[in-house]
Structure formats: C-alpha cells, structure tokens
Amino acid sequence: MMEWTDRHCRFFHRLLTRRALIYTEMITTGAVLHGARARLMAHDPAEHPVALQLGGCDPRQLAECARIAEAFGYDEVNLNVGCPSDRVQVGRFGALTALVGDCVAAMTSAVKLPVTVKCRIGIDDQDPEEALEALTRGVEQAGVAALIVHARKAWLDGLSPRQNRDIPPLDYARVYRLKAAHPGLDIVLNGGIADIDQALNHLGHLDGVMMGRAAYQDPWRLLAIDPVLFGEPAPFASPKATAEALIPYIERELARGTRLNAITRHVLGLFRGVPGARAFRRHLAAEAVKPAAGAAAFRTALALVADGSAQMVHSAAA
C-alpha cells in the first residue's frame, strides 16, 4: 500500500472503525534513517492502534528503525518481506529477503513493541509447503508476535508488481495448514479478501485477516467491522456522517499547509453505489486539486450525495 495509506488515509479510516489495527504504508529503513523522518513517521493520536510497516534487509538498521518506531509511539512494527514491487527488489528487501529470522531477532531484542512479519507463501519456483514452513520456523524462533501471510506466491521472474496482485492463484488452504502446524503463533491472512463476510469465514480458521485494497477502494466496508467483528456500534451511522466528521481534520490540515486533494483522494470510494457518488467524485476531481481549494469544496461535494444509513449503502454497493 505504498503511497496509499499515508497519515491522512489512516485518520479517515479510523473514523470508520475504532477497533481495527491500521498499518502505515511501507517505509524503507533508508528513508527512516536518512530521510524526512518527522514527516514520514508522523501520525495523529487518533490513529491508534497503528502499526509501522518497514522494508529492509539489514538487521542493525531494522533494529534502529524499530527503536525509532517505539519512540514515535507506534503500537507495532511490521517487517514486510512479501512485497514484489520494483523499488523493493532494487533495494534487496521485500520478497528477496533471505535473513528474515536474523532481522526479526534484532528487532525483538531492540524494542518491547510487538514485531510482526508479512510474507507471501513462496517465491517463484519455491515449494510453498517447504518455503513457508521454513520461514515460519525462523521467525517463530526469533520471537515474532504474528505472521501475516498473503496467500499468493510472489513471481519476481515474469510478472510485474501489478500482475503479482492478482495472477498468482490464492491458496488459503496452505495458510490454514500453517496455523494447524503452529497453533501457538498468531497467523493472519491477507490477499483477495473483499468483504466482511469473507473475513468471518477465514476467522473460523485463523487469528486475523488483513484487508488492503478492498478497504481502500471501498472504505464504506469498514463501518461494518466494529458491529460485525467486535459486537460494538459503528463509530457513525452512515458514510456521509463519517465524511462530515472528517471536516474538522481537513480544516486543521489546510491551516498547516496541506493541499485539500492530499486528503480527499482517499475518500473517493466512500459512496460507491450511492445516488450522487459520481457527482461527488467529479466535483472533487475538478476542485480539490486547485491550490486554493478549501473545506468548502468538500462540503459542496458532500451536498451532492444522498443521505442514507450504512446498511442502505452496503446494500446499494453489493
């Protein structure tokens, strides 16, 4: 979710669910250690619980980044070793990492935060039964708190990063078998989970599910998380009420020099299937990008959307 789940996105998503654990976009160790740290690591107190996701392959650098994450107040630090993006491969981490156990051991020794790992079930011609088991044993021995498994292989030879999101077949059964073989380790499933009903089915076998692109592209789905998975009321009664609650944040950020489009680009999928949704998106596409755009542009866009409960919206978009 690089360049997607930035701090504005995370603040918006937290308005939709109080209970889900939110992850940052993946940040490289080099960026944390040598880049604009204050900007890259910034998060609003309202985002908690929030995990920092790191990409790197040097145990010492990862340990130092974990210490920085702890100092910044993150609730978890996650090492992503399953991302097949070009930038990740050039940096020799992500799906190419071979020293995952050493990296996790260095991080767990450096901080009290939970250290988790996100991976694929295998790479290229690897046998997922052997490769995933070997990785799991290594990180479990190193003290990992949880393993998040994207239930696809990463094909670095022959598929683009975009193709790697969809073309390699999903193998949920392999992840189920991993949990059965490691009952004491929290195993979280990622990949192809499109809605809360699917999440519920997987939770019968596993400890958690991670929703990425479905949550970003259709954020209205997040309003169901608290009532369906945790038995608690949703934070707001409808997507429109949620969007209205975002306005004070928009006004605050605009006063700090943030451009309106930097925030509203994350909200475009909130009203999918609702009368007025297209007009909402069109208005923001034309107005939010203007240098002087203010909160009034967002209010005007919202006025184009029909009112309705969260359940009505879910039914319309299904």
Would you please indicate which residues are annotated as catalytic (active-site) residues? 83
Cα(first)–Cα(last) distance of the chain, in Å? Answer: 24
Integer Cα distance of 20 and 257 in angstroms: 29
Integer Cα distance of 174 and 188 in angstroms: 12
Q: What is the 3-class SS of 256-315, one letter each residue?
A: CCCCHHHHHCCCCCCCCCCCCHHHHHHHHHHHCCCCCCCHHHHHHHHHCCCCCCHHHHHH
Looking at this protein, which amino acid is placed at residue 225?
Answer: I
CB atoms within 10 A of CB 28: 21
Integer Cα distance of 92 and 202 in angstroms: 32
217: nearest Cα among 41, 26, 9: 9
- Contact by Cβ (8 Å): 37, 72: no
Q: What are phi and psi of 234, to 5 degrees?
A: -65, 150
Integer Cα distance of 295 and 284 in angstroms: 11
- Contact by Cβ (8 Å): 250, 294: no
Tokens for 95, please give them. 């799906």
